[in-house]
């Protein structure tokens, strides 16, 4: 089964002052992330503001980041799932032609399908591509939860290789790990849940805070995998205040603000997202004082 590394970063999408995607800065950011602990890049996920990107912008982002990642033997996972099955199939097929390594299929948002509808939606996309597929369950965003039994069914489809689990429901996550086919990879979708999910038998994390502390997250995972659980727990605890600060309002508003504040320009979020409020900005600034930043910065 294909594996893309234990630490993948859900990359923000940089925008220029005119609001257009800054593709040159996206390549610089992808390079910096891969130089600071990330083993692969997720493009056009939640953190990448996928709902406000056009299909043309997504495909060019996939291509530009792929060029950077291939030079470093790293993976690009393309966010191609939407709330429309036919549109998801079309984008996934085009992403495959671009040359991405895998696709990320989010649970359809807004429409609130049944579990059978979720199964058929994801099955149809997976059967339309040769790409490895990673499921993405994030009920706080989609309203609908992808149940453990449905994940177990989907795991029997050959090219569905794993799931990004952001439900924070550890009973459900345990059932997925126990019920899915052997080798099915469970990634944490919440930075605060990474170590707990590893202890349950999970594989890694698709991270946001790795924009800033990727080497430290890699170290935490390496500690755990090598049996140094006390050291892993200490580092996990040390990183939690940063996690809390970067999720004080909806992602990716805080992490984009942090990157801009630290000197790595990524532009403003696209409406309807905005910069964080002043109280949140102050919290982010104060929290950053207590951390070594792993990302190579543009100063």
Domains of the chain, each with CATH number or no CATH:
7-230 (3.20.20.70)
CA dist 269 and 273 (Å) reads 6
Q: Is 228 a catalytic residue?
A: no
pLDDT in tens, the chain (299 residues): 567 999 999 999 999 999 999 999 999 999 999 999 999 999 999 999 999 999 999 999 999 999 999 999 999 999 999 999 999 999 999 999 999 999 999 999 999 999 999 999 999 999 999 999 999 999 999 999 999 999 999 999 999 999 999 999 999 999 999 999 999 999 999 999 999 999 999 999 999 999 999 999 999 999 999 999 999 999 999 999 999 999 999 999 999 999 999 999 999 999 999 999 999 999 999 999 999 999 998 65
Q: Is 136 a catalytic residue?
A: yes
CA dist 160 and 149 (Å) reads 15
CA dist 217 and 101 (Å) reads 23
> Annotated catalytic residue: which of 28, 58, 164, 256?
164
- Which of 93, 60, 58, 99 is closest to 79 using CA atoms? 58
Where does the chain have alpha helices with state H? Answer: 23-34, 55-71, 85-98, 115-127, 139-142, 148-154, 170-179, 194-200, 210-225, 229-245, 253-262, 278-288
Say whether pTM exceeds 0.75: yes
Maximum distance among all Cα pairs of the chain, rounded to whole angstroms: 51
φ/ψ region of 5 (left if φ > 0, alpha if ψ in -120 to 50, else beta) reads: left
CA dist 33 and 217 (Å) reads 12
> Annotated catalytic residue: which of 119, 136, 203, 257?
136
């Amino acid at each position: 089964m294909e594996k893309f590394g234990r630490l993948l970063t859900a990359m923000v999408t940089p925008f220029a002052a005119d609001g257009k995607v800054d593709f040159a800065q996206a390549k610089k950011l992808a390079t910096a992330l891969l130089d600071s602990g990330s083993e692969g890049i997720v493009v056009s996920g939640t953190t990448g503001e996928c709902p406000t990107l056009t299909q043309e912008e997504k495909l060019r982002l996939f291509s530009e980041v792929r060029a950077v990642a291939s030079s470093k033997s790293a993976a690009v996972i393309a966010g191609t799932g939407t709330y429309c099955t036919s549109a998801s199939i079309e984008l996934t097929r085009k992403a495959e032609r671009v040359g991405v390594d895998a696709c990320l299929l989010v649970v359809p948002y807004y429409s609130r399908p049944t579990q059978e509808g979720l199964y058929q939606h994801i099955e149809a996309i997976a059967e339309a591509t040769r790409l490895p597929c990673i499921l993405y369950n994030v009920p706080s965003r989609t309203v609908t939860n992808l149940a453990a039994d449905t994940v177990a069914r989907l795991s029997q489809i050959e090219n569905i290789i794993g799931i990004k689990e952001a439900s924070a429901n550890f009973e459900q996550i345990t059932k997925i790990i126990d019920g899915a086919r052997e080798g099915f990879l469970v990634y944490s979708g919440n930075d605060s849940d990474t170590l707990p999910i590893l202890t349950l038998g999970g594989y890694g994390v698709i991270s946001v805070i790795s924009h800033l502390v990727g080497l430290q997250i890699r170290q935490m995972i390496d500690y755990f995998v090598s049996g140094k659980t006390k050291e892993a727990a200490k580092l996990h605890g040390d990183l939690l205040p940063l996690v809390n600060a970067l999720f004080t309002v909806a992602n990716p508003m805080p992490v984009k603000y942090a990157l801009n504040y630290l000197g790595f320009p990524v532009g403003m979020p696209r409406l309807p997202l905005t910069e964080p409020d002043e109280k949140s900005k102050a919290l982010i600034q104060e929290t950053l004082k207590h951390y070594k930043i792993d990302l190579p910065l543009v100063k």
